[in-house]
């Protein structure tokens, strides 16, 4: 998950905290583009959160 998106989701008045940090939730923070598996690249798409 993009670091900025996770911080926004954890911020005040964004969503219900239990939907972000529930039991068993594990987030791998990334910044920008990242290859998360062989040939699978994550691209940032800003503008979906504050």
The pLDDT value given to residue 49: 74
* Region of residue 5 (phi > 0: left; psi between -120 and 50: alpha; otherwise: beta): alpha
Number of residues that this document lists for the chain:
50
* Domain boundaries of the chain, sorted by first residue: 3-42
The pLDDT value given to residue 47: 82
The pLDDT value given to residue 46: 83
End-to-end CA distance of the chain: 15
Q: What is the pTM of this model?
A: 0.76
Please check whether residue 42 is in contact with residue 1, taking contact to mean a CB–CB distance below 8 angstroms.
no
Residue 7 and residue 34: Cα distance in Å, rounded? 18
Give me the average pLDDT of each 10-residue run along the chain (50 residues). 91 92 95 96 85
Joined together, the tokens standing for residue 42 give: 């994550």
The pLDDT value given to residue 48: 74
């Amino acid at each position: 998950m993009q670091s900025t998106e996770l911080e926004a989701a954890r911020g005040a008045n964004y969503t219900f905290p239990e939907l972000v940090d529930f039991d068993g939730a594990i987030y791998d923070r990334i910044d920008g583009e990242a290859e998360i598996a062989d040939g699978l690249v994550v691209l940032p798409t800003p503008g979906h959160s504050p």
